[in-house]
Amino acid sequence: MLRMTVATLLFMALLGMSTAGGVLSKIAPGKSAGTCASTDTVGKVTDSFTKTYGEEPKFIFAAPGRVNLIGEHTDYNDGFVMPCAIDYHMVCAISPSDDDTITAVAADFDCQPNKFSLSDPIVKAENKEDFWSNYVRGVCKVLKEDRGLPLRGAKIVIGGDVPQGAGLSSSAALEVSVGTALNAVMKLGLGPKEVALTGQSAEHWVGCNCGIMDQLISACGEAGHSLLIDCRDLSTYSVKIPKGTSIVIVNSNFKHHLAGLDSEYNQRRSQCEEAAQHFGVSHLRDVSIQDLLKEEKALDPQTFRRARHVVTENDRTEAARKALEKGDLVKMGKLMAESHVSMKDDFEITVPPIDGLVSIIGKVIGDEGGVRMTGGGFGGSVVCLCKDDKVEAVKKAVEEQYPALSGGLKATIIVTTAVQGAGTHTPGLKKTAQVG
């Protein structure tokens, strides 16, 4: 089990999420016409801004979390992924200021405003209470110091409802919401993909050597569609979610922690890089399964298994795009099942509670859909694609069977839809538009 640090617990508090089980559904309730984040979340962030600064924010921006349907740990190998943005968001309220100071507040966390000057080198906050601010600092550092863009001071409040620790990319949504806000307010001229790359670099600075998928889908998501993303050239291909199909995310509430250079996530990435070096290529994207099998005896057994997952997962992801386009949930389900087995046996990133959820849900949906672990691993969530009429049976089975095999944990069941990527909402106008 991975140890959860105090900083992780603080960040969980920032995002306002509990470990209690239940059912969350945001297909219809809690949305105002035009806004991309829930009215409760926007209201919470706006109220915090007004309380902190004595005025309403000039702009409010929102960036969604994501669920990856298939293609795990392939993004940093220059491979293929197929995520969709989901109806849970991080919100950034912002007003420009007349000085060079960034002042940031976390609406979900009882803390003092965190300030840093843009005239000085941007460094990480060392005290644990301000750990959350490193995501804001990281975005500002990349924009100003790495990209050389003209940032100026701003008043910021962030908050959201993306479940942290569930493998749904709460940190990426935070980075993209802040990056989108600064880009628009400061007129930096970046497109959504450049905002995503900024967020990825910020995450690296904080300490997790992630790929581009999480930030890219948060910035570029399309309503009603997943995106097949080529992580080498960042090209995207829209894949419509078949009519009558539900996206069900089941959070195991078995928490994971990715940030930190000694994390299991970063270790997996190093192992993939080692395998790529053996073949004389920069990334495992350029290794075929035939090439890999020929070199099995020349590779360390663990390194071989890591590489086999990535190589076969790339093939599965491209096949999944074709299956989903045809509305073939039977084929999609087989590919998702193979993906989960590969993550469990070759990449070794699942845990018993996750495997248990996959088994429970798989028995309910049969061959009319698929289920697999989603996210970085070591806890988090499973994603299920199934017919609408199977959702209630999935909920019932999870609620009745999961606590017994998880040591008493209760899962949180999220029924969601694929939504648009990062956008802006101007108070009073009730109008949302994708930025870039």
Nearest to 199 by CA among 213, 184, 185: 213
Residue 385: other Cβ atoms inside 10 A:
26
Catalytic residue of the set 214, 230, 328, 388: 214
The answer to whether 146 is a known catalytic residue is no
- Please give the Cα distance from 171 to 199 (Å, whole number): 9
Residues carrying an active site annotation: 214
